[in-house]
Amino acid sequence: MTDRPSSPLALRAALLAGLARFRREGVAGTTPHAPGLFSYCALTRERLSSVRLPRPVVGIVLSGAKEVWRGETAERLSSGTLFVLPAEVDLDIVNEPAEGSGLYQSLVLEIAPEAVPDLDAGETEPAAGGSVAVALTAGLVEATVHAARAIEDGPAGATVRTARLAELLALLHDAPAARPLFDLSVAERVARLVRGGLDRDWTAAEVARRLALSESTLRRRLAAEGSTFSALLRRERMEAARRLMARGAASGAAALAVGYASRTHFARAFRAAFGGNPAQAAGRNAP
């Protein structure tokens, strides 16, 4: 994409051209392209009621039009529109095939919490009227095309995929409509904080202070998300220890690295998490 279009019409056309390889004809339903990347097609006009996504998504209307309803407010998205839909929000969706082709298609990229770079949601105001459409720029068009292609290319390009997705999310960071991508749960914010030093003696009070919350608010919000501070910290420590042992670390070294001075306490926590002894896990990975 050497030419850099600037008008909205030219930007939409460039986005559609760059994603032409994902076009499907005469099919309905979901077509997976790679984990977290799929097309959704419809051959007749359809209305989907109370759609509630488990993760936020970045999408592009490739053919036809989409209406997104929140209560009595609707937004119509035409072909070539880049949009972001939030997680855990009830939406009514209307998918309308194009008159010429008789096909509605969107390309959808699910955004997992671990894929979101450490960029604060910031002070970006939500889009006016709750708009889900993202204003295109030449850089955003290129980043979207590159990310979709890299993700489809499969495991061999894992490093490239990660870099392309990070580039796309960085460009979306200041877009008001993309704010839901960066509204991480409290549990994810806590996990990211403690991952930076799992050998530390973390307390709920210290973590709450770093997140600008009171300890009671932290515990209440974690409970609302189905977690507790101690369970979350233990999970992060055990997952990290298992990864260390998978790379060849001895169980004692893994225990110290994630904050356990007592091997007995570490072994008990490891068995509770994974059902086996850490020494056995380390032994399986020994050369």
- Domain with 230, as residue range(s), is 186-284
Query: For residue 85, what are the β-bridge partners?
Result: 57
> Which of 118, 148, 182 is the endpoint of a domain?
182
At 167, list the tokens: 């580039």
pLDDT per residue as tens digits for the range 88-97 = 889 999 999 9
At 124, list the tokens: 């970006």
Q: Is residue 1 part of a domain?
A: no
Same domain, 197 and 269: yes
**What three-state secondary structure class fits 40?**
strand
pLDDT per residue as tens digits for the range 32-58 = 999 999 999 999 999 999 999 999 999
Tell me, what's the pLDDT at 85?
A: 96
Tell me, what's the pLDDT at 160?
A: 78
Tell me, what's the pLDDT at 141?
A: 97
DSSP 154: -
Write the CATH number for 226.
1.10.10.60
Tell me, what's the pLDDT at 155?
A: 65
Q: Is residue 222 part of a domain?
A: yes
- Range 207-222 average pLDDT: 95
On average, the pLDDT of the chain sits at 89
> Which of 148, 163, 182 is the endpoint of a domain?
182
Same domain, 149 and 83: yes
Tell me, what's the pLDDT at 88?
A: 86
| Dist. CA 18–CA 146, nearest whole Å | 9
Same domain, 201 and 169: no
At 186, list the tokens: 């409290």
Q: Is residue 26 part of a domain?
A: yes
Tell me, what's the pLDDT at 125?
A: 52
pLDDT class of 287 with cuts at 50, 70, 90: very low
Same domain, 34 and 160: yes
280 versus 174: which is more confidently predicted? Answer: 174
pLDDT class of 157 with cuts at 50, 70, 90: low
Same domain, 111 and 218: no
Q: Is residue 164 part of a domain?
A: yes
> Does the pLDDT at position 113 exceed 50?
yes
pLDDT class of 260 with cuts at 50, 70, 90: very high
Same domain, 100 and 178: yes
Q: Is residue 27 part of a domain?
A: yes
Q: Is residue 64 part of a domain?
A: yes
Same domain, 52 and 91: yes
Same domain, 170 and 194: no
Same domain, 73 and 148: yes
> Does the pLDDT at position 127 exceed 80?
no
- In angstroms, the Cα distances linking 171 to 75, 134, 236, 283 are 23, 11, 29, 44
> Does the pLDDT at position 249 exceed 80?
yes
Q: Is residue 3 part of a domain?
A: no
Write the CATH number for 93.
2.60.120.280
Same domain, 72 and 214: no
pLDDT class of 284 with cuts at 50, 70, 90: low
Same domain, 23 and 46: yes
Structural domain count, the chain: 2
> Which of 122, 151, 182 is the endpoint of a domain?
182
pLDDT per residue as tens digits for the range 16-29 = 999 999 999 888 99
- 77, 83 contact by CB (below 8 A): yes
At 16, list the tokens: 């559609």
205 versus 184: which is more confidently predicted? Answer: 205
> Does the pLDDT at position 282 exceed 70?
no
- Range 104-111 average pLDDT: 97
| Dist. CA 109–CA 71, nearest whole Å | 25
Closest alpha carbon to 234 in 206, 202, 212: 202
| Dist. CA 142–CA 156, nearest whole Å | 21
> Does the pLDDT at position 259 exceed 80?
yes
Q: Judging by DSSP bridges, how do beta strands 133-134 and 82-85 pair with one another? A: antiparallel
Same domain, 164 and 221: no
pTM (2 d.p.): 0.73
Q: Is residue 2 part of a domain?
A: no
